[in-house]
Amino acid sequence: MANELKNDTYSEEYQRILPVVNRHSRLPLHQQIYDLLRSKILNSAWAVGEMLPTELELMVEFGVSRVTMRQVFERLVSEGLIYRQQGRGTFIAKPTLEQGLTRIISFTEDMRRRGLIPETNVLAAEITPAADEVADALKIKPGDNVAFIKRLRIANAEPMCIEESHLPYKLCPGILKFDFASQPLREVLEKRYAIRIVRALQKTHAVVTTTKTAKLLGVPHPSALLFIERVSFNEWDLPVEFLCLYFRGDRYTLHNELRD
């Protein structure tokens, strides 16, 4: 779609280099096609509201049956990435609500979706022995080494959130040498340590500021904070991060959609 401007009639063929599915892969066809379409959608290959190719076109493109193609579409619909209208077509959905409460997204992405400009200050980055609560969440022994990274998250030049990450140091030795003001933690975990976070469990509470947190966040004391504790897991369901988030109650709101 980008380059490859050829002057013959086969130019459409030339453009399809990657999107071919592999029938001998261990991955099911529907999974391969899903991965491909999802990443294209997330990378804005189509604009919001734009119509996607029809079922028939994609069946031909990928060489699969209609049922398989529909399986992919149904999954994308259920995840809110696309919507379909009988007789009209399939369209890119507005990226909106629900994510952030169902999807793991970074602070940076979260703020951008809200139309705010994110920044980060690293307040601490050190190796510490795991406290009982941290050890419990990460399923390690109390006293085991933990990489502790504390960051102040800023939106439109105003403090928004204090974020404390605890990682089992065994899993990511040397991780503190990276600069987490500029580099997303998840990216470093994925690219440098081959740790991919696929699932997380979180608890959301309301708490009152301590004098310290109030000062850091620049809010009066006492005021209310949204406090989120999150344990993230890799593909083998091993805990890889224990995260504590303290959001300003006066600035930050969680949005989501419920269904019957």
Interacting residues toward DNA by CB under 7 A: 28-31, 52, 54-57, 63-68, 70, 73, 84-90
Smallest distance, DNA to C-beta of residue 29, A: 3
Residue 157 binding a copy of itself, by CB under 8 A: no
**Which of residues 86 and 182 has its CB atom nearest to DNA in the complex?**
86
- Measured CA to CA, the distance from residue 133 to residue 242 in angstroms comes to 10
- Measured CA to CA, the distance from residue 93 to residue 84 in angstroms comes to 9
Partner whose binding site includes residue 90, from a copy of itself, DNA, none (CB under 5 to 8 Å by kind)? DNA
Q: What mask of x and - would describe binding to a copy of itself in positions 195 to 214, judged by CB under 8 A?
A: -xxxxxxxxxxxxx------
- Site residues (CB under 8 A) for a copy of itself, limited to 68-127: 74, 78, 97, 101-104
Partner whose binding site includes residue 34, from DNA, a copy of itself, none (CB under 5 to 8 Å by kind)? none
**Which of residues 23 and 205 has its CB atom nearest to DNA in the complex?**
23
- Measured CA to CA, the distance from residue 109 to residue 77 in angstroms comes to 21
Smallest distance, DNA to C-beta of residue 77, A: 8
**N residues, the chain:** 260
Partner whose binding site includes residue 230, from a copy of itself, DNA, none (CB under 5 to 8 Å by kind)? a copy of itself
Smallest distance, a copy of itself to C-beta of residue 223, A: 6
Partner whose binding site includes residue 253, from DNA, a copy of itself, none (CB under 5 to 8 Å by kind)? a copy of itself
Partner whose binding site includes residue 97, from a copy of itself, DNA, none (CB under 5 to 8 Å by kind)? a copy of itself
**Which of residues 16 and 199 has its CB atom nearest to a copy of itself in the complex?**
199
In order of 68, 72, 87, 125, 243, the CA distances from 233 in angstroms are: 30, 25, 42, 21, 12
Structure tokens at 147: 């990489």
Smallest distance, a copy of itself to C-beta of residue 177, A: 26
DSSP, collapsed to helix, strand or coil, labels residue 17 as coil
In order of 88, 149, 159, 188, 244, the CA distances from 197 in angstroms are: 37, 17, 26, 12, 16
DSSP letter for 140, please: S
Partner whose binding site includes residue 65, from a copy of itself, DNA, none (CB under 5 to 8 Å by kind)? DNA
Helix (H) or strand (E) holding 161: strand 158-168
DSSP, collapsed to helix, strand or coil, labels residue 62 as helix
Smallest distance, a copy of itself to C-beta of residue 21, A: 21
* Nearby residues of 233 by Cβ (< 8 Å), 6 or more positions away: 197, 198, 199, 200, 201, 239, 240
Partner whose binding site includes residue 20, from DNA, a copy of itself, none (CB under 5 to 8 Å by kind)? none
Angle at 112 between CA 109 and CA 225, to 5 degrees: 80
Which chain residues interact with a copy of itself by CB under 8 A? 67, 74, 78, 97, 101-104, 196-208, 222-227, 230, 247, 249, 252-260
